[in-house]
Amino acid sequence: MVQYEKAEAKDYEEIIDLANYTFSASRRPTDFPGILPKLYRREYFMDAVHYIAREDGRIKAIVGSYPLEMRIQTETLPGRGIGMVSVHPYARSRGYMRTLMNMALADIRGASPSGGHAFSCLAGQRQRYEYFGFAPTGTRFVFECGRDNVRHITGRAGAKKPLTLKLLGAEDAELIASIRAMHESKTARFHRPGGRFFDILSSWNSAVYAVLENGGFFGYLIHKKRSNSIHEINLKDFSAIAETLRLFFETSGGENSDTVTVAACTHETEKLFYLSSLAENRSITTAYSYNILDYPRFVSAFIALKTGGQTKQDGSFTLRIMNGGPPHAPGGDTTLHLFAEGGKAGAAQTDGSGHADLTLDHLEAMDFLFSPESPYTRRVIAEQPFLRGLLPLPLFFEYTDGV
């Protein structure tokens, strides 16, 4: 007999054991509480919802749904991250994952669009999750920075600052509080609850470094050794990024490598400027896999982030998003009016009775609005100055917040 239900606290050990076994069997040895303490410490377990399939009383499949919250300037966008998608190797091809994903998404969508979840997101193989309305979108810049690049920059007159790096542990409360304050000062970020802030920073087996100037807090970086990537770096003055990387290469984090990749979001203009002048190579990738559930609210927030509510090019564009029917189905069809008038830009939902300039399905609409290649693949963007200045919107994701 198969039962589908939501997990309780008593299921913690069985869920962790199954997920560890499933991922270890298909990938590499996995310890979820060790890799992701921010989600899988026992004391955090019931903050999420775990949907489970029991076969004759034993858990055979799991889908986790974890609270996330974007803060975009003054706008708060609640969401859910999907993770720990696990099916016991001997119980595959029985439809468990599909059923549990649909249960999770039904609950997420049930709170949308008014005042509820604005989005969901996950990491996983693209076509597998497109059936559920997710697709890779948004933009991430990745810069390849080498020792020689850094050496030439820091060798210039006046380039060096009196900086040091300190590898942090949970006991470094004062510096962790400074990192949290810097994170919370960003115009766009994922909310990171204070009680588990260091667990969030150090998840994914990441090392957290404070950057100090004359012993005082100057910034921080987060390094993932397995991928040799600095997936988050923030400084009071990004003109010191080369000096910071020079110190990184001299520490245990970078001493065995001649290069490191550094990630940045499209709205981080100062960081992008200095990394662009430093890096040997750069690439543009999608940010994460998203499922937009409340288009008007979500798109409006990112228009405000990109334009600051101001635009030099007036215009309007009406996009009809056909959401009806599986596999996407975040709700009924949405007609979204993008506009800029008198220097003010925004988005609003209409009743759908009027003319639409373009009709797309849900996956196509996310690509049109947020993907880095959309200005090159959609002629309508190239032909309209208003859209050309607006799209793609700066949807981002920082690896630290992944589930």
Average pLDDT over residues 310-334: 74
167, 182, 176, 156: which is closest to 235 by C-alpha?
Answer: 182
Question: How far is Cα 350 from Cα 372, in angstroms, rounded to an integer?
Answer: 26
Whether residue 158 is found in the same domain as residue 249:
yes
Phi, psi dihedral angles at 219 (to 5 degrees): 165, -165
Of 206-215, 233-242, 344-353, give the lowest mean pLDDT range: 344-353
Angle between helices 269-276 and 241-250 (to 10 degrees): 70
Task: Evaluate whether 362 touches 323 at the Cβ level (below 8 Å).
Answer: yes
119 in any annotated domain: no
- CA 342 to chain CA centroid, Å, is 33
Whether residue 292 is found in the same domain as residue 268:
no
Structure tokens at 172: 């470094």
129 in any annotated domain: no
Burial profile 314-331: b = 16 or more Cβ within 10 angstroms, e = fewer = ebebbbbbebeeeebbbb
pLDDT digits (tens, 9 = 90+) for 181-194: 999 999 999 999 99
Structure tokens at 254: 């970078």
Average pLDDT over residues 64-85: 97
Whether residue 360 is found in the same domain as residue 383:
yes
292, 308, 258: which is closest to 365 by C-alpha?
Answer: 292
Whether residue 277 is found in the same domain as residue 386:
no
pLDDT digits (tens, 9 = 90+) for 227-236: 999 999 999 9
pLDDT digits (tens, 9 = 90+) for 152-190: 888 775 556 789 999 999 999 999 999 999 999 999 999
Q: Would the pLDDT of 199 be above 50? A: yes
Q: What residue numbers bound the domain in which 92 lies? A: 2-110
Residue where a domain stops, chosen among 268, 285, 302: 285
Whether residue 177 is found in the same domain as residue 83:
no
116: pLDDT confidence band, cut at 50, 70 and 90? confident
Q: What is the pLDDT of residue 329?
A: 47
Question: How far is Cα 153 from Cα 176, in angstroms, rounded to an integer?
Answer: 29
Residue where a domain stops, chosen among 269, 285, 301: 285
Q: How many residues comprise the chain?
A: 403
* Helix/strand/coil (H/E/C) assignment for every residue in 174-243: HHHHHHHHHHHCCCEEECCCHHHHHHHHHCCCEEEEEEEECCEEEEEEEEECCCCEEEEEEECCHHHHHH
Whether residue 306 is found in the same domain as residue 324:
yes
Structure tokens at 110: 């049930």
Q: Would the pLDDT of 111 be above 60? A: no
395 in any annotated domain: no
401 in any annotated domain: no
What's the N-to-C CA distance of the chain in angstroms? 31
Measured from the Cβ of residue 156, the count of other Cβ atoms closer than 10 Å reads 9
Q: What is the CATH number of the domain that holds 185?
A: 3.40.630.30
Whether residue 278 is found in the same domain as residue 293:
no
Whether residue 149 is found in the same domain as residue 268:
yes
CA distances from 172 to 175, 198, 199, 395 (A): 6, 10, 13, 32
- Report the amino acid identity of residue 154: T
Whether residue 205 is found in the same domain as residue 293:
no
Residue matched to tokens 């002629």: 379
120 in any annotated domain: no
Residue where a domain stops, chosen among 242, 266, 285: 285
Structure tokens at 255: 């001493």
Q: What is the pLDDT of residue 28?
A: 82
Task: Evaluate whether 138 touches 356 at the Cβ level (below 8 Å).
Answer: no
Sign of CA dihedral 271, 272, 278, 283: positive
Average pLDDT over residues 370-385: 94
130 in any annotated domain: no
Q: What is the CATH number of the domain that holds 327?
A: 3.30.1050
Whether residue 223 is found in the same domain as residue 97:
no
250 in any annotated domain: yes
Whether residue 218 is found in the same domain as residue 265:
yes
397 in any annotated domain: no
Whether residue 320 is found in the same domain as residue 348:
yes
Number of domains in the chain: 3
Q: Element (H or E) spanning 292, and its range?
A: strand 288-292
